[in-house]
Amino acid sequence: MKELKKLISKDGSVKFLFGLHDNNAIEALYMHDKSNTLTYNSTVCVSSQVGCKVGCAFCATTQQGFVRNLSSFEIVNQVDKCNSYCTQAGADAIKAVVFAGMGEPLLNYENVKAAIHRLASGYGINSFELATVGIVPAIDKMIEDFKNESMVIRLNLSLHASTDEIRDSLIPFNTFFNISDILDAACRYAEAFNRRVRIRYMLIKGLNDTQADMDRLCSLLENKPVKLVISSYNDNQVKGLIPPDREDVEKFYRFIRDKIDSDIFYNFGSDIAGGCGQLRQTQIAG
């Protein structure tokens, strides 16, 4: 694996484009979260696949199509490369690994599981987060495989809609595992590990940010073992999808926070194509 490009953001995050042995390319994002609220202090977000087959309407990666799964070695190597950067730059060593880069990690479950074990044993990393659209059988497999392990694996479910109709249009996999299915799986995971599941809700102007959405979201999540994380659509120039104004995000949050434990996540590296697949997309276009 070789470094093809490195971009450093004004917020301190670093986006890497790595070349693989078969001339494919993947991304990793190093994030330094000084506030230490929504991520660990020093985190790397890694890819689990070349491309993605899930087909999310808002994602740059899925526009590039699916090529293949990454091996556990290729996943771990991203962390190794980022750790080398941290050493050279005098930055904090990696404290946590987030599987939220290119690809759906639960569609490459066995290699992701092997990478987690290798990172825990070889690097002493015991804090992980896994972002998924909700592949329910794999979530249940995680419960079975990791229930006796000491590492922390935070589950992060991409909801992004308050109705199945809206979610179908944003995340085609919703037709396999709908909102009710994935929230039930989230509750099972939370109960198994005595740890709340994070529910990601990305606001898109005029699509999922209405008062009706707020009301439905409260009904869906109230009294469930979850934490809602609200974010803004990271503009991928998709026709019909518009990022909300910052004040609209905060208005949505102010209404929700009194009813559901929630917070706002501000995107890292938006000035350096920090969003999933964005840097690789520019490389392909170039």
Residue 23 CB partners (closer than 8 Å, separation 6+): none
Asked if 228 and 174 touch (Cβ cutoff 8 Å), the reply is no
Rounded to 5 degrees, φ, ψ at 246 are: -60, -40
- The β-bridge relationship of strands 2-8 and 14-19 is antiparallel
Selection from 54, 52, 57 nearest residue 170 by Cα: 57
Q: Cα–Cα distance between 11 and 21 in angstroms, integer?
A: 31
Q: How many CB atoms lie within 10 A of CB 22?
A: 8
- Give the CA count within 13 Å in the CB-facing half-sphere of 113: 15
Q: Mark whether 27 is an active-site residue.
A: yes
Indicate the angle between helix axes 211-221 and 246-257, nearest 10 degrees. Answer: 40
Q: Cα–Cα distance between 75 and 116 in angstroms, integer?
A: 9
Q: Mark whether 45 is an active-site residue.
A: no
Residue type, 209: D
Q: Retrieve residue 130's tokens.
A: 């896994």
User: Which of 52, 59, 82, 276 is an active site residue?
Assistant: 276
Q: Cα–Cα distance between 132 and 136 in angstroms, integer?
A: 10
Residue 229, helix vs strand vs coil: strand
User: Which of 27, 74, 104, 129 is an active site residue?
Assistant: 27
Handedness of CA 57, 62, 65, 67 (dihedral sign): negative
Catalytically active residues are 27, 276
